[in-house]
Amino acid sequence: MIPVTGYAGAQVAVLGLGRSGLATARALQAGGATPVCWDDGAEGRARAEAEGFALRELSRPEAFEGIACLVVSPGIPHLYPAPNRAIAAAWEAGIPVDNDIGLFFASFGSRTWDKFEQPPRVIAVTGSNGKSTTAALIHHILEHDGRPSQLAGNIGRGVLDIDPPRDGEIVVLELSSYQTELARALTPDIAVFTNLTPDHLDRHAGLGGYFAAKRRLFAEGAPDRMVIGVDEPEGRFLANQMGQGPGDNRVIRVSSAGKLQGPGWHVFARKGFLSEFRKAKQVGAIDLRDIRGLPGAHNHQNACAAYAATRTLGLSPKTVEAAFRTFDGLPHRSQIVAEANGVTVVNDSKATNADSAAQALRAFKRIRWIAGGLGKDGGIESLKDDLGGVVKAYLIGHSARDFALHLGGVPHEISETMAQAVARALAEAEPGDTVLLAPAAASFDQYPDFEKRGEDFMAEVRARLSDRPNSA
């Protein structure tokens, strides 16, 4: 646990009592503060009461009498599409609003570090797609090299729930736009921006607000090193803003769209080969084509970002490559779950929008595509140029018939359920085919989250395959 500093003897309100909210309450208490908790759900309040935390309904300004700060869980909207009532009440009462990420960065350092030979550092990863894989890959590389490391944030443990850092330890954080937007303190040593595609637009009132939330990690924190994906205009804008000139090696530009040129520090993937250039000279290279845990151009972009981040820590290209080859990937993200009779089965349940589904569709050939769920704005209309490798689509869930309207001449059937889609796809698959779950939709019509959807997919696959699958 990271005890929260700066509030000893004070009352601090905590709104939202899920994983991060309860971890925040415990960390505040460990730092000498008195948490005052609330959740609109009875289940959350019961969890807090079971741990002995005081409850107080926070929807009125007078509820904040004696409160020093309000700490908000990331899923609670504080501005768009409308502020939560408790947040609006805190504003009216003049109470500062923060989140666990802000408390973490304000409290991470301690006097025990004076005894360390190397102070602990933080690598923070944000972006639209690939940030979970990139953060996990950085953590894996560090562990593979024997370096102390912890993984937290939007993946792994809550930031305030991690262990106190050891000498020279690297804490790797995955941070969503919900987390970076509100945090009052953002001071990573190394910041990583993977890419930007439209998502969470209602929460940020459009793409500009969404990008602004991501940008805060760099503009507010002034990290020592910045790894920035430049395959979209926003990334190129960010890299330009953060750099002080062509030779500024604090900014490392990464790309999976083509070769990067110029005098700066570049890491890019082209035709399956990762290359590192400094001062227009190649200093490192890795053949990514046969690395099982990193299939497709989108994972090559993740590999470039993780490579660049760990190179700033002094790891050699050979060390990074060796770690790449032992990386199994993350569950529900281009996860190879079975290989039988020449057919590969891939679980990419995390592909909850058209952009992330496009990356999966580009990564494989001869695809039997399971898609559908609760479609987002635009559905799959933008995927029309990415369907060339689809042999047949099996459509499930609420948006199945809407998706069917945008498939053009691609053979398809309305399967409705995961069980039916898996059964039909496996029955019809031929050697060389890939059965791919990449829904391009949210899961909430049939499942509580994308993890449960992916788990159901894997269970259906395993129930129908006679050969034992290779789990990834």
129 belongs to an annotated ligand binding site: yes
Q: How many other C-beta atoms lie within 10 A of the C-beta of residue 97?
A: 20
The token pair at 31 is 């730092």
The token pair at 88 is 């609006």
133 belongs to an annotated ligand binding site: yes
DSSP code per residue over 182-239: H-S----SEEEE----S-SHHHHTSHHHHHHHHHHHHHTT--SEEEEE-SSHHHHHHH
130 belongs to an annotated ligand binding site: yes
CA–CA separation, 229 and 268 (whole Å)? 9
Residue tagged 């950085």 (tokens): 138
127 belongs to an annotated ligand binding site: yes
What would the 3-class secondary structure string for 91-141 be? HHHCCCEECHHHHHHHHCCCHHHHHCCCCCEEEEEECCCCHHHHHHHHHHH
69 φ, ψ (degrees, to nearest 5): -165, 150
Residue tagged 């019809």 (tokens): 428
Give Cβ neighbours of residue 271 (< 8 Å, ≥ 6 apart): none
Residue tagged 């190649």 (tokens): 282
Query: What's the residue count for the chain?
Result: 472
Instruction: Please enumerate, by residue number, every residue annotated as part of a binding site.
Output: 127-133
Instruction: Please enumerate, by residue number, every residue annotated as part of a binding site for ATP.
Output: 127-133
